[in-house]
């Protein structure tokens, strides 16, 4: 099993490298190269320094980072106040299906409770290529909230 550590700005390079792997995997599964990653390391550092981005790192016993989960706070009337959004969750493929993702989610729930958030939300693409991801979140207590995530690039 892994240990979960709160990332600091000094972990930005590791986080950025994992984000790149996540985006590559999503692009491969969807056949789309719609992600514009420009300076993810410096942005990650800045977001962590400003406290607007929380990153949990999954570490092996020998200190290797094998995955991460990122959280951001949002606010809405429908959620009755502040809540957390899981922006990214990624584990190296060889470390999946062994409880590591659930460990990251458990720690995210603890962070959410500490911050007084009433809920956590996550979005998975409504595509067959992400059925396992969808099932993973369901096994970890997430319910369908409705809708599909959409974007408009600016």
CATH code at 89?
Answer: 3.40.630.30
In a domain, 54, yes or no: yes
In a domain, 153, yes or no: no
Domain that holds residue 63: 3-139
**Percentage of the chain lying above the pLDDT 70 cut:** 96
In a domain, 40, yes or no: yes
Query: Is-contact 95 58, C-beta < 8 A?
Result: yes
Higher pLDDT, 126 or 14: 14
In a domain, 145, yes or no: no
In a domain, 123, yes or no: yes
In a domain, 149, yes or no: no
Closest-CA residue to 20 (of 49, 43, 52, 3): 43
Whether residue 43 has pLDDT greater than 80: yes
In a domain, 154, yes or no: no
Query: Is-contact 96 45, C-beta < 8 A?
Result: no
In a domain, 148, yes or no: no
Whether residue 124 has pLDDT greater than 90: no
Q: How many domains does the chain have?
A: 1
Whether residue 46 has pLDDT greater than 80: yes
If you average pLDDT over every residue of the chain, what do you get?
91
pLDDT of residue 153: 67
Mean pLDDT of 84-103: 96
pTM: 0.91
Whether residue 12 has pLDDT greater than 90: yes
Torsion over CA of 120, 48, 125 and 37, rounded to 10 degrees? 170
Triad 85, 106, 93: Cα angle to 5°: 85
Gap between the Cα atoms of 70 and 89, Å rounded: 7
Whether residue 152 has pLDDT greater than 80: no
Mean pLDDT of 49-74: 97
Whether residue 34 has pLDDT greater than 80: no
């Amino acid at each position: 099993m892994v240990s979960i550590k709160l990332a600091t700005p000094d972990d930005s390079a590791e986080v950025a490298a994992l984000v790149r792997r996540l985006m590559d995997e999503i692009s491969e599964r969807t056949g789309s190269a719609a992600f514009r990653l420009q300076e993810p390391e410096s942005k990650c550092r800045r977001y962590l320094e400003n406290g607007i981005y929380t990153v949990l790192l999954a570490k092996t016993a020998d200190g290797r980072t094998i995955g991460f989960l990122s959280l951001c706070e949002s606010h809405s009337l429908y959620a009755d106040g502040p809540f957390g959004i899981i922006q990214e969750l990624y584990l190296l493929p060889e470390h999946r299906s062994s409880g590591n993702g659930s460990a990251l989610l458990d720690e995210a729930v603890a962070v959410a409770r500490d911050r007084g958030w009433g809920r956590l939300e996550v979005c998975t693409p409504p595509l067959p290529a992400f059925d396992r991801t969808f099932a993973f979140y369901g096994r970890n207590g997430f319910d369908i909230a409705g809708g599909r995530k959409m974007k408009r690039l600016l």
